Chains A and B, each alone.
Chain A
Amino acid sequence: MDSGIDLQQSFISLLEGLGLSHSLAKVVWLPLPMVLIVGAVTVLALVSTWLERKVSAAAQQRIGPEFMGPQGLLVPAADVLKLLTKEDVFPAKTDPWLFALAPLLVFIPVFLSFLIVPFGQNLVITDLGIGIFLWISLSSIAPIGLLMAGYASNNKYSLLGGLRAAAQSISYEIPLALSVLAVVMMSNSLSTIDIVNQQSGYGILSWNMWRQPVGFLIFWIAALAECERMPFDLPEAEEELVAGYQTEYGAVKFMLFYAGSYANLVLSALLFAVLYMGGWESPIPVSWLASLLGVSENAGWFQAIAASLGIVMTLFKAYLLLFLAILLRWTVPRVRIDQLLDLGWKFLLPISLVNLLATAGLKLAFPLAFGG
Chain B
Amino acid sequence: MFVLSGYEYFLGFLLVCSAVPAIAIISSQLLRPKRQGVERRTTYESGMEPIGGAWIQFNIRYYMFSLVFVIFDVETVFLYPWAVAFNQLGLLAFAEALVFIAILVIGLVYAWRKGALEWS
Q: Which A residues are closer than 8 A to B by beta carbons?
A: 30-31, 34-35, 38, 42, 83-93, 103-104, 107-108, 111-112, 114-115, 125-129, 133-134, 136, 140, 151, 153-159, 163, 166-167, 170-171, 173-174, 177-178, 181-182, 184-185, 188-190, 242, 247-248, 251-252, 255-256, 337-338, 341-342, 345-346, 349-350, 353, 356-357, 360-361, 363-364, 367, 371-372
Q: Quick check: A256 and B54 within 8 Å, CB to CB?
A: no
A-B contact pairs, 30 of them (CB 8 A): A30-B8, A85-B32, A87-B33, A90-B36, A91-B41, A91-B43, A93-B53, A128-B9, A136-B76, A151-B54, A154-B55, A155-B44, A155-B54, A156-B54, A159-B54, A170-B65, A174-B69, A178-B76, A178-B79, A184-B83, A185-B84, A188-B84, A190-B84, A252-B25, A252-B32, A353-B101, A357-B97, A357-B101, A371-B87, A372-B87
Q: Quick check: B16 and A184 within 8 Å, CB to CB?
A: no
Contacting residue for B84 out of A92, A108, A184, CB 8 A = A184
B98 interface hit (Cβ, 8 Å): yes
B106 interface hit (Cβ, 8 Å): no
CA distance A318 to B76 in the complex (A): 26
Nearest B residue (CB) for A89 = B40
A-B contact count (CB 8 A): 196
Instruction: Report the minimal beta-carbon distance from A108 to chain B, rounded to whole angstroms.
Output: 5
Q: Which residues of B from 72 to 105 have beta carbons under 8 Å from A?
A: 72-73, 76, 79-80, 83-87, 90-91, 94, 97-98, 101, 105
List chain B residues, Cβ under 8 A from A361: 94
List chain B residues, Cβ under 8 A from A185: 83-84, 86
Nearest B residue (CB) for A252 = B28
Q: Quick check: B66 and A346 within 8 Å, CB to CB?
A: no
Q: Quick check: B55 and A108 within 8 Å, CB to CB?
A: no
Q: Quick check: A91 and B16 within 8 Å, CB to CB?
A: no
Q: Quick check: B84 and A158 within 8 Å, CB to CB?
A: no
Most chain B CB atoms below 10 A, which of A42, A89, A190: A89
Instruction: Report the minimal beta-carbon distance from B99 to chain A, rounded to whole angstroms.
Output: 12
Nearest A residue (CB) for B94 = A360
List chain A residues, Cβ under 8 A from B117: 341-342, 345-346
Q: Quick check: B41 and A90 within 8 Å, CB to CB?
A: yes
Q: Quick check: A247 and B80 within 8 Å, CB to CB?
A: no
Known contacts A108-B17, A372-B87; decide if A88 and B54 are in contact (CB<8 Å): no
Q: Quick check: B18 and A108 within 8 Å, CB to CB?
A: yes
CA distance A125 to B35 in the complex (A): 43
B3 interface hit (Cβ, 8 Å): no
Give the number of residues in B that approach A within 8 Å (Cβ atoms). 65
List chain A residues, Cβ under 8 A from B17: 38, 108, 111-112
Nearest B residue (CB) for A360 = B94
CA distance A251 to B34 in the complex (A): 12
CA distance A133 to B80 in the complex (A): 8
List chain A residues, Cβ under 8 A from B91: 364
List chain A residues, Cβ under 8 A from B98: 357
Instruction: Report the minimal beta-carbon distance from B76 to chain A, rounded to whole angstroms.
Output: 4
CA distance A38 to B12 in the complex (A): 12
Q: Quick check: A125 and B28 within 8 Å, CB to CB?
A: no
CA distance A121 to B82 in the complex (A): 26
Q: Quick check: A242 and B44 within 8 Å, CB to CB?
A: yes
Contacting residue for B72 out of A89, A125, A174, CB 8 A = A174
B45 interface hit (Cβ, 8 Å): yes
CA distance A372 to B112 in the complex (A): 37
List chain A residues, Cβ under 8 A from B79: 178, 181, 356
Q: Quick check: A115 and B9 within 8 Å, CB to CB?
A: yes
Q: Which 8 A-B pairs have the closest CB atoms?
A: A126-B9, A167-B62, A338-B119, A252-B28, A185-B83, A111-B17, A92-B41, A170-B69
B110 interface hit (Cβ, 8 Å): no
Nearest B residue (CB) for A115 = B13
Q: Quick check: B16 and A35 within 8 Å, CB to CB?
A: yes
Contacting residue for B119 out of A177, A247, A341, CB 8 A = A341
CA distance A371 to B72 in the complex (A): 26
Q: Quick check: B9 and A247 within 8 Å, CB to CB?
A: no
Q: Quick check: A177 and B76 within 8 Å, CB to CB?
A: yes
Q: Quick check: A184 and B80 within 8 Å, CB to CB?
A: yes
Q: Quick check: A248 and B94 within 8 Å, CB to CB?
A: no
Q: Quick check: B28 and A84 within 8 Å, CB to CB?
A: yes
Instruction: Report the minimal beta-carbon distance from A354 to chain B, rounded to whole angstroms.
Output: 10
Instruction: Report the minimal beta-carbon distance from A103 to chain B, rounded to whole angstroms.
Output: 7
Contacting residue for B9 out of A86, A125, A174, A363, CB 8 A = A125
List chain A residues, Cβ under 8 A from B25: 252
